[in-house]
Amino acid sequence: MAFLTRYSDDPSAPSVGSALRDLAVRAAAPAVVLWVLIVGGGLFIKGPLKGLSSEDTISKDVQETRTRTWDSITMVLSHIGNTEIVIGVCVVAVGLIWWRTREWWRALVPAIAISLQATVFVIATAVVGRPRPHIPHLDPAPPTSSYPSGHVGAATALYVSFAMLAQSIERPALRRLVTTLFLVIPVLVAYARLYRGMHHLSDILIGAANGLVCALLAWAYLRRKA
């Protein structure tokens, strides 16, 4: 069974109880390990690496490329990763996928992905508490710290899960187009957050890693027949 077609290859319906057990063992438990790794990385950056001073140069270099046009464009791109936008898009997508496939276990994949990501992110950012870059911020700073990027993590978790769900599209050209669009969105959000001075580069990279791993855990949460 191919990883990306696991739900199409085996459309059998699980019981609610078995799905919850799989979710705990195959997604939630590995997410705890992910959280430990992310927190450890953040504390290492703040401690022995002394905040990676070279990243200040990167942030200042990106700041120098700002223009009114790109300020406006990146404002829109940054908003794509906002909590309310991510949740709203996810709720609509889950409803549409459930209605279209009649498979609740498949429809819940994006919701599982962003839930895992958000849980790891919120606890990790509270523990690490890394300050944001020392350059002018173009967005209001949320109460969370800079590490890891929640916007990038949420966008990555949501749209990578969409990209995997899109593999069930039968028309190859349309499948490739939709997949590419979904995978490009997190990259644009990541650039916007760096451009707007809201995160260090490592915050963005670890945020993307968090979102990607959570999307993969969500996609694989349910046992399928070999």
Distance in angstroms (rounded) separating the CA atoms of residues 140 and 103: 39
Half-sphere exposure of 207 (CA within 13 A, CB side): 31
CA distance 121 to 27: 15
Closest CA to 118 of 79, 96, 144: 144
114: pLDDT strictly greater than 80: yes
Q: Which fold has domain 17-219?
A: Vanadium-containing Chloroperoxidase; domain 2 (1.10.606)
Between CA 170 and CA 225 the distance in angstroms is 22
Q: What angle is formed at CA 93 by the lines to CA 12 and CA 25, rounded to 5 degrees?
A: 50
Question: Could you report the per-residue pLDDT of 125-184, keeping only the tens digit for each?
Answer: 999 999 999 999 999 887 778 999 999 999 999 999 999 999 999 999 999 999 999 999
CA distance 114 to 215: 8
- Give the residue among 115, 121, 118, 113 at the shortest CA–CA distance from 38: 121
Does the N-terminal peptide bond of residue 148 adopt cis geometry, omega within 30 degrees of 0?
yes
Residue of higher predicted confidence among 201 and 225: 201
In the block, tokens 């349910």 appear at 222
